[in-house]
């Protein structure tokens, strides 16, 4: 059974055809680098977010959640260093006017100042701030300027004291947040990989200075296990990349990226950073209010260090889509034609639909019976009912959107209250009682291992 490699073109086409992701404002010709999540895409994204949220909050009694506003006081971004440092070096072609990130160009082309598109002359690199600016209120002047946040992390830092005082957490503890962030990216190719509007899942873990290296190693281990065990990502497709001195962000003492092998090569998916006491110190300095922590037992007062785990949610959607996509060569079909099965091997916890229910035929009361079984399952699973087309085609339609379990209701169901349960990955079919469906599917989800 040959398995073909995923290509971006195939993924983008499947995403549009089946309702995972659409180009933004497509009927107006589209807005480059902005994407909309369709009926299946929104479920997939929500499921990834839910698994992350459970892993980072419910599974730890010392991590709490937060949902801060996108618009924050503009001084936040001065204190955080984003106004000064959050820049990309850009060069422009004087001929074709194309703009490039200098650090993404071939060093020789940059040295020769030669445009890779048309051979025209390139300008000297200039620093370009990535934050989107807007104005709050009726008058658009310097006094009303605000930024769309370029990271969710600062919402956590500025609420450190609020959370400390209202939830009685003690160091070491973490604050987790999921939300939109915005960056005026210049190179926005590769579908939803790098976009101007995206979502992050971030957790800031506050620790005693001196214990930061230990917690940094702890969180690196935890995050690796999350991808391989909780999301079921192929471990051969992820790897670590440690930031060299010239790559480190202005706030970081040490940083590792988890990279995933996307169809276009290995690229960053998540960053684990040791942010030291940079952010809390800067907010103390800029507000004139000491943001520190008093250790009850020792009466020691200090500014905590922060270990950050920062994953892209929308980028995780692309990872899960590319990791799941497979084309299986099943030989030839009944009519002698090549039989290729497109299957999305999502972990059942992530699949937009968990169980699809079909009547073998619409007549003789089978449609009503199948409908009632589907309705019974709604309490436990995300379900879908489909009565149109041949059964084989209905299975294949579900394979293509990654539905892990399909149930077929036939004439025997009326007699003996059994149905056919079909498993997406193996295509195995078993006959089981209607009353066994929920426990059987739950067990299969719990024990799921990708083939
Ligand atoms: N608070 C730290 C921070 O924002 P980052 O490495 O700049 O660190 C963290 O971003 C993650 O956010 C990245 O690993 C990536 O998954 C996601 N991300 C960053 N920029 C993005 C963009 N333009 N489009 C989609 N995802 C992005």
433 part of a folded domain: yes
CATH of the domain at 60: 3.30.930.10
Q: Which domain holds residue 54?
A: 2-71+148-321
pLDDT at site 171? 96
348 part of a folded domain: no
213 lies in the same domain as 237:
yes
63 lies in the same domain as 96:
no
- For the record, the structure tokens of 140 come out as 């658009």
Please report where in the chains the tokens 């005693």 appear, as a residue.
208
pLDDT at site 2? 44
118 lies in the same domain as 156:
no
Q: Which segments of 27-159 does DSSP mark as H helices, in order?
A: 39-53, 75-79, 82-85, 107-112, 153-158
170 lies in the same domain as 248:
yes
CA atoms within 13 A on the CB side of 218: 11
81 part of a folded domain: no
> Per-residue pLDDT for the chain (451 aa), expressed as one digit of tens each?
445 567 899 999 999 999 999 999 999 999 988 999 999 999 999 999 999 999 999 999 999 999 999 999 999 999 999 999 998 899 999 999 888 889 888 888 888 999 988 999 999 999 999 999 999 988 888 788 899 999 999 999 999 999 999 998 999 999 999 999 999 998 667 999 999 999 999 999 999 999 999 999 999 999 999 999 889 899 999 999 999 998 898 889 999 999 999 999 999 999 999 999 999 999 999 999 999 999 999 999 999 999 999 999 999 999 999 999 999 999 998 889 999 999 999 999 999 999 999 999 999 999 999 999 999 999 999 999 999 999 999 999 999 999 999 999 999 999 999 999 999 999 999 999 999 999 999 999 999 988 7
Contacts of 295 by beta carbon, 8 Å cutoff, 6+ apart: 171, 208, 301, 302
208 lies in the same domain as 245:
yes
Q: 3-state class of 13 per DSSP?
A: helix
Q: Give the residue whose CA is nearest to atom 2 of ligand 1.
A: 310
Q: Which atom of ligand 1 is nearest to the CA of 195?
A: 24
100 lies in the same domain as 67:
no
Strand 355-359 relative to strand 405-409, pairing: parallel
Q: Which segments of 25-74 does DSSP mark as H helices, in order?
A: 39-53
Which residues line ligand 1 at a C-beta cut-off of 6 Å?
A: 151, 153, 183, 185, 194-195, 198, 200, 202, 268-271, 308, 310-312, 314-315
Q: Which atom of ligand 1 is nearest to the CA of 185?
A: 23
| Cα–chain center distance at 165 | 31
- For the record, the structure tokens of 301 come out as 């007062």
User: Where a domain ends, among 281, 299, 321?
Assistant: 321
Phi then psi dihedrals of residue 442, to 5 deg: -60, -40
339 part of a folded domain: no
CATH of the domain at 413: 3.40.50.800
Distance CA 232, CA 230 (A): 6
Q: Which residues are annotated as a binding site for substrate?
A: 101, 151, 198-202, 308-312
CA atoms within 13 A on the CB side of 6: 25
Q: Which atom of ligand 1 is nearest to the CA of 273?
A: 2
141 part of a folded domain: no
Separation in Å, CA 53 to CA 46, 151, 164, 273, 347: 10, 18, 20, 19, 17
pLDDT at site 110? 87
Determine which helix (DSSP H) or strand (DSSP E) holds 440, and give its type and residue range.
helix 437-446
Q: Give the residue whose CA is nearest to atom 15 of ligand 1.
A: 312
Ligand 1 centroid – CA 188 distance (Å): 13
Contacts of 296 by beta carbon, 8 Å cutoff, 6+ apart: 170
38 lies in the same domain as 176:
yes
Q: Are 145 and 74 in contact (CB under 8 A)?
A: yes
pLDDT (tens digit per residue) in 221-254: 999 999 998 898 999 999 999 999 988 988 899 9
pLDDT at site 159? 98
- For the record, the structure tokens of 277 come out as 């006491």
177 lies in the same domain as 242:
yes
Ligand 1 centroid – CA 392 distance (Å): 42
Contacts of 142 by beta carbon, 8 Å cutoff, 6+ apart: none
153 part of a folded domain: yes
340 part of a folded domain: no
pLDDT at site 314? 98
pLDDT at site 4? 54
Closest-CA residue to 323 (of 244, 402, 397): 402
Contacts of 444 by beta carbon, 8 Å cutoff, 6+ apart: 348, 404, 405, 423
53 lies in the same domain as 24:
yes
Q: 3-state class of 403 per DSSP?
A: coil
363 lies in the same domain as 425:
yes
309 lies in the same domain as 240:
yes
pLDDT at site 3? 54
Number of structural domains (the chain) is 3
Q: Which atom of ligand 1 is nearest to the CA of 202?
A: 1
185 lies in the same domain as 292:
yes
333 part of a folded domain: no
pLDDT at site 45? 98
The length of the chain, given as a count of residues: 451
Please report where in the chains the tokens 């004139």 appear, as a residue.
288
Ligand 1 pocket test, pick from 148, 200, 320 with the greatest ligand atom count within 8 Å of Cβ, gives 200
pLDDT (tens digit per residue) in 80-104: 999 999 988 999 999 998 888 898 8
């Amino acid at each position: 059974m040959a398995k073909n490699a995923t290509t971006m073109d195939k993924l983008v086409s499947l995403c549009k055809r089946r309702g995972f992701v659409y180009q933004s404002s497509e009927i107006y010709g589209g807005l480059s680098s902005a994407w909309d999540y369709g009926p299946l895409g929104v479920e997939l994204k929500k499921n990834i977010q839910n698994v992350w949220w459970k892993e980072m909050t419910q599974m730890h009694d010392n991590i709490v959640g937060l949902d801060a506003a996108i618009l924050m006081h503009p001084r936040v971004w001065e204190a955080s260093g984003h106004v000064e440092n959050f820049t990309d070096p850009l060069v422009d072609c004087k001929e074709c006017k194309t703009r490039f990130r200098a650090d993404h160009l071939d060093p020789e082309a940059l040295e020769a100042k030669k445009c890779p598109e048309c051979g025209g002359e390139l300008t000297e690199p200039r620093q370009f701030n990535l934050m989107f600016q807007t104005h709050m209120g009726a008058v658009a002047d310097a006094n009303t300027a605000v930024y769309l946040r370029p990271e969710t992390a600062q919402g956590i830092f500025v609420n450190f004291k609020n959370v400390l005082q209202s939830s009685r957490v003690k160091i070491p503890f973490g604050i987790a947040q999921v939300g939109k962030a915005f960056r005026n990216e210049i190179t926005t190719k590769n579908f939803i990989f790098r976009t101007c509007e995206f979502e992050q899942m971030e957790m800031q873990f506050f620790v005693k200075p001196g214990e930061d290296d230990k917690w940094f190693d702890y969180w690196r281990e935890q995050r690796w296990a999350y991808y391989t065990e909780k999301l079921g990502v192929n471990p051969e497709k992820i790897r670590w990349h440690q930031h060299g001195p010239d790559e480190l962000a202005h706030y970081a003492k040490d940083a590792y990226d988890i990279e995933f092998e996307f169809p276009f090569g290995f690229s960053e998916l998540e960053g684990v950073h040791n942010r030291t006491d940079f952010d809390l110190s800067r907010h103390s300095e800029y507000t004139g209010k000491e943001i520190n922590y008093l250790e009850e037992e020792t009466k020691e007062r200090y500014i905590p260090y922060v270990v950050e785990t920062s994953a892209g949610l929308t980028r995780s959607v692309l990872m899960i889509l590319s990791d799941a996509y497979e084309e299986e060569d099943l030989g030839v079909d009944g009519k002698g034609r090549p039989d290729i099965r497109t299957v999305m091997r999502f972990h059942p916890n992530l699949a937009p639909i968990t169980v699809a229910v079909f009547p073998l035929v619409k007549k003789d009361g089978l449609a009503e019976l199948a409908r009632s079984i589907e309705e019974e399952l709604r309490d436990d699973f995300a379900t879908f009912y489909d009565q149109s087309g041949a059964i084989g085609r209905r299975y294949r339609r579900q394979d293509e959107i990654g539905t892990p379990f399909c149930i077929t209701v036939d004439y025997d169901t009326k007699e003996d209250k059994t149905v056919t349960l079909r498993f997406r990955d193996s295509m195995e079919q078993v006959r089981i009682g209607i009353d066994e469906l929920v426990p059987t599917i739950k067990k299969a989800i719990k024990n799921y291992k990708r083939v």
